[in-house]
A and B are shown apart, each in its own frame.
Chain A
Amino acid sequence: MGGNRTHNGNNPDKVTPLDPRRHKGTGREETDLIPDEGSLGELLIHMRRVRQTVPVNTRLREELRARLLQMQAAEGAGGTQRPGAASTPEGAPQPGAAPAGEGMPPSPAQPAGKGRWPKYFWLFPAVLLLVAGYWLWWSALTPKILEAGTTREISRFWLEDSPLEFVCAPRGRGFLAVRGGALLLLDQYGNQTGIIKPPGGQSYAWPALTPSGDQLALVRRYETGEAEIIRAAMPAVPLAPEAAPQVERALAGANVLLKVDKGKNPAGLVWSPDGKTLAYSLEEPGGKEEIFLWPGGKEPVSLGPGRNPAWSPDGCRLAVERAGPAGEPELWLVTPGGGDARRLTGGRQPAWSPRGYLAFIRAKTTERVLTYSRDGSPLFTVRQRQEEIRTINPELLGERPPKQEENQTLPTDRLLLAPDTTPGGTELNWLRQLEMEGVREPRTLLLDQLNNYQSMHFSPDGKTLLVARRDGGTVALVQVELREKTTGRGEKQ
């Protein structure tokens, strides 16, 4: 057991190493060992390995450090100096210790001394101007791409026949989701704070909040087959437990915007950026789907075939999903006037960020090598069609996206979230079987298509993407932090 122990006593970041340590003076080891315990050594090795497996959030470490620095700078440099040093037996500070008045190191913008201010004062606004100028240039001219940052699971639901329908409330107020015909309220941490069930014989579907979060549109379906689109005023409070009765009251007194004939199925509700026009799709009994706009008090306007509309941030265009010649999903750009429509690329479920990025789901064939032969060539391989999330910035394509051949994709789209290619039980069982049969020739396992992603929405500020991801027998609602990155030299956008 002792032989398996790793020595980490030299690591200054550790509070205490887990190896046996000698107590000063006594020479006694502080050890975790229990003598004559059979598998304990293995357990301890396991636990140490687990400790290394538990990751530390390095990003939080840096961000929190910066925040603490800022707070301390605001409070004044001497605000958090530990006074305990004065009451220690040693009394006076030891050599090499930080000078009095130092807590966190001063921030770079903070003057080192009052006497220096008048001399270099002009430097401060000059640097600010330079930074502001650079920022303007950077934000306006430099081509950027969207990258996925930290991912966190908001909530998890049982898998149902219908996809998980959800929407983000603005300013971190929480999330709304529809499951089993009921409206669920989730707070900003993903805790379910309320469930609003419709009256008997009715069910809710497709929640859509205006960008300001003050209006909620919903589909209300009746058991008789009829449906209507309703609108309710949302309370301007976080979706905490006390908000549930208010939302319930608002839904009870909701306005009916549109009644839909029996057998037709409204879906994919989404408000325009100004919160005045509602886009939705209508599925007819034969399976035909058509996009409509409800421009407030007027008759709905048809935008042609399609489903899952998404508004551009300026409200001048919509991305919609249409079936291609072979039935595969494609993204099209249409205008609210119903005029010029152009195919953009292959994919489904468009979501348009307030910052201009269009995200969508596309299936692609992945090939994973599970084992290699001795000469380094692939031996056992798995091939599967899996979905991934990609983004594109339609603004960079201009008013008229380049014309493409069928089945072609734009060269400018970027991968945002890759499919999960971790080997699963099926692959492992296949490998075991091949091993038992003594197979040594290259083999490929073809797996069924994996649809990990159900749907997605950007948060109203465009800083996060909320994704419904299928995970075994459940659907996980996952929030992905987003960051913009400038493209490198020679790198294509």
Chain B
Amino acid sequence: MHKRDENERGTRASFAELYDRYFDAVNRYLRYRMDNPWDADDLTAAVFLKAMENFPKYRGDAPFAVWLFRIAHNAYVDYLRGRRERVFTEEEMSYLEAAPSGPEEELLRSEEVRQLKDMLRRLPPEQRDVVSLRYAGELKFSQIAQVLGKSTAAVRMIHHRALKALRAHYAKDREEVEGVGRQ
């Protein structure tokens, strides 16, 4: 991986090659973070269009993965901001909220993805950023540090805390599930 980054800096890697290499990571990162896979796909397309537009400006100072994930992360933050600015009336909210679902509906969804997204939602935003970039974007700690503009040590610490918090949520969820199973 390290070797590849150096190659990217040193060679004239084509955008197509880089696109093929990073599409899955970016798409998965956005799908991991967003509830609506359609929105995640739209945002993925927007990220690569923007990356292609700005590719001539890419100086190679940072690894391409870092540069690309900065675009993806910023696009996601903008998306969140856009959604937050939308004003719903009370009547609208009653339509938009999901109904409490029964066991059958629970099984129809991908239980594991739902559970993880649920656990992620309970984390503070910076921990959520680090965990998503690490596990969906598959970035190294040093790369995450560059994307988020933090030191590698700080990212390691945030990651450590996030895993501890996730472990607590996970253990609690498991206990509840097993408790229900026993009943």
Chain A minimum-CB-distance residue to B96? A192
- Please report the C-alpha to C-alpha distance between residue A56 and residue B52 in the assembled complex, in whole angstroms: 20
Chain A minimum-CB-distance residue to B22? A15
Q: In the complex, what residues of B have CB within 8 A of residue A195's CB?
A: 89, 91-92
Q: In the complex, what residues of A have CB within 8 A of residue B55's CB?
A: 80, 82, 103
Instruction: Tell me if B's interface is mostly helix, strand, loop or mixed.
Output: helix
Interface size on B, residues (CB 8 A): 83
| B102 → chain A closest CB, angstroms | 6
Decide: A158 near B99, CB < 8 A? Known: A39-B167, A61-B24, A82-B13. Answer: yes
CB of B14 within 8 A of CB of A105, answer: yes
- Please report the C-alpha to C-alpha distance between residue A34 and residue B162 in the assembled complex, in whole angstroms: 11
CB of A48 within 8 A of CB of B135, answer: yes
B59 interface residue per 8 A CB criterion:
yes
CB of B56 within 8 A of CB of A79, answer: yes
Q: In the complex, what residues of B have CB within 8 A of residue A18's CB?
A: 134-135, 138
A37 interface residue per 8 A CB criterion:
yes
CB of B113 within 8 A of CB of A53, answer: yes
CB of A39 within 8 A of CB of B102, answer: no
Q: Contact partner of A98 among B14, B60, B94, CB < 8 A?
A: B14
Interface string of B62-96 (1 = CB under 8 A from A): 00010000000000000000000010110110111
Q: Contact partner of A192 among B11, B65, B95, B104, CB < 8 A?
A: B95
Chain B minimum-CB-distance residue to A80? B55
Chain B minimum-CB-distance residue to A93? B12
Q: In the complex, what residues of B have CB within 8 A of residue A79's CB?
A: 56
Q: In the complex, what residues of A have CB within 8 A of residue B116's CB?
A: 46-47, 50
CB of B14 within 8 A of CB of A158, answer: no
Decide: A179 near B95, CB < 8 A? Known: A30-B140, A103-B55. Answer: yes
CB of B23 within 8 A of CB of A473, answer: no
- Please report the C-alpha to C-alpha distance between residue A61 and residue B103 in the assembled complex, in whole angstroms: 34
CB of A97 within 8 A of CB of B92, answer: no
Q: In the complex, what residues of A have CB within 8 A of residue B92's CB?
A: 192, 195
Decide: A424 near B37, CB < 8 A? Known: A80-B55, A82-B12, A97-B11. Answer: no
CB of A472 within 8 A of CB of B104, answer: yes
Q: In the complex, what residues of A have CB within 8 A of residue B15's CB?
A: 68, 72, 80, 82, 103-104
B153 interface residue per 8 A CB criterion:
no
CB of A472 within 8 A of CB of B135, answer: no
Q: In the complex, what residues of B have CB within 8 A of residue A64's CB?
A: 23, 44-45, 48
Decide: A157 near B167, CB < 8 A? Known: A79-B56, A103-B16, A473-B100. Answer: no
CB of B21 within 8 A of CB of A13, answer: yes
CB of A94 within 8 A of CB of B10, answer: yes
